[in-house]
Amino acid sequence: MLSILLLGMAAVLPVHAQYEMKSGVYNRLSNRVPANNTAGVTPVGPLATPTGDGAITPQFSNVVESSGSAGRADSGYPTSVVSGVGVNLTRASFGTTFASGVPRYLFGDEIKPPTAIVSAGGTSYTVDAGYWRVQPVLAGEVLSNPGGGNPVDFKSGDPAAVAALPAGTMASYYFSPHAKRVFANTPGTVEITWRSALPDAAKTGSNSYVFYKERFTVSSATSTPVRTIYWTEKSFTSPVVSIPLGRITTVNPVYSNVFPSTVATEYVVAGVSQSDPNASSSQILRTLWYESTAGTGKLHAYNQTGRIFVEYLGALNSQDGTYEFLGADILSVEQSLRASTLTVELGHEIRPSPNEASLVATPVSNTSTVN
């Protein structure tokens, strides 16, 4: 009985196989009839004449990976087949992923200079990283060429495209003079103009530098762990972050357009009375800052929330005034940590919830105000 059933299935399956839908990523842009067309299906309409695989003009303008499905509403096999014409489609859906923009870098990533550049005339060149000056065009920098003439954007051929940012303007990226590298410290759209280290007559046609402007997107997500610091001033009682002096001699918070060094007005806690207006000002307008006293460095936070790029610096280089670059962190500055109530039996150690082995207790001297 079993053998008879298997033989029956073997006889039925080839009949339905020619109409089965299979998932996968394909690029079969052709109306050619396959050589093993056992069903006798013939294309109809204006594209009935086979044109071969890859005939994408004019009916296709692009090829993307996507997903789709087609079949009867009752998920059964197609039953309406007209000999010599094909299958009547009763239901189909088709779609693809979408995004408002694909970031090239994550927050805190090193921004690399381009290794492939294209001129305004469409000529492609390959260069190595040493081709470029390590520092991009600065705000307020006077742009000039040894051979004279206006600096021209190599990509567009437009002299106006390489005008330096006005002096004092904060760039949307950070060039570290200590690390001699460029870092992504501002999420969103970033514009950066690179300059060749030496004039390149072969590419510019004159004794001129190559200026190359790029525009891309930086994500607010990071590829490294984000460390959190809470506000430490006034009615906020979170402890300052202590950094013992040793190899680390200073900490440099890198401010940006979205995380400034100061604010116009101090944060006001609702319900807390302010100081006497006739007394000297006791406002704190700073956001995140580092102080070193009595052999210990302390990192304070106040007034601003968000993420900021922070670099740790070592020994001072007396020749150029830079420091040894030791590394960097992404700090998330937040107002306060929400309090939680724990039940601890008498004599047991009080641990945070959830328990993390790396956390240690720090006593809070002022408990009169809870934020």
Band of pLDDT at residue 26, cut at 50, 70 and 90: very low
Average pLDDT, the chain: 78
Predicted confidence at residue 93, as pLDDT, reads 67
Lowest mean pLDDT among 88-97, 162-171, 297-306: 88-97
Using CA atoms, how far apart are residues 258 and 307, in angstroms rounded to an integer? 9
Q: Angle at the Cα of 225 (from 219 to 227), degrees rounded to 5?
A: 105
Its pTM stands at 0.68
The answer, yes or no, to whether residue 78 has pLDDT greater than 70, is no
pLDDT tens for 253-296 read 999 999 999 999 999 888 766 666 665 568 899 999 999 887 78
Per-residue pLDDT for 366 more than 60?
A: no
Identify the pLDDT of residue 169. Answer: 87
Long-range contacts of 256-260 (CB under 8 A, 24+ apart): 256/170, 256/172, 256/174, 256/185, 256/186, 256/308, 256/309, 257/170, 257/172, 257/186, 258/186, 258/187, 258/188, 258/306, 259/287, 259/288, 259/304, 259/306, 259/307, 259/308, 259/333, 260/287, 260/304
In one letter, which amino acid is 142? Answer: V
Nearest to 307 by CA among 281, 328, 280, 334: 334
In the predicted structure, residue 54 carries a pLDDT above the cut 50: no
Asked if residues 72 and 19 have their Cβ atoms less than 8 Å apart, the reply is: no
Distance from C-alpha of 174 to C-alpha of 162, rounded to nearest angstrom: 18
The stretch 33-56 carries a mean pLDDT of: 48
Tens digit of each residue's pLDDT (9 = 90 or more) over 167-207: 888 999 999 999 999 999 999 999 999 999 999 999 998 99
- pLDDT, one tens digit per residue, over 122-134 is 999 999 989 999 9
How do 323-334 and 226-230 pair as beta strands?
parallel
* Poorest-pLDDT segment among 90-94, 297-301, 338-342: 90-94
Specify the pLDDT at position 209: 95
Query: Reduced to 3 states, what is the DSSP secondary structure of residue 307?
Result: strand
pLDDT of 65 strictly over 70: no
The pLDDT of residue 21 is above 90: no
pLDDT in tens, 299-332: 999 999 999 999 999 999 988 999 999 999 999 9
Instruction: Report the pLDDT value the prediction gives residue 282, as an integer from 0 to 100.
Output: 81
Top-confidence range, 30-39, 112-121, 232-241: 112-121
Residue 51 pLDDT class (50, 70, 90 cuts): very low
What pLDDT, on a 0 to 100 scale, did the predictor assign at position 197?
Answer: 96
Percent residues over pLDDT 90 in the chain: 46
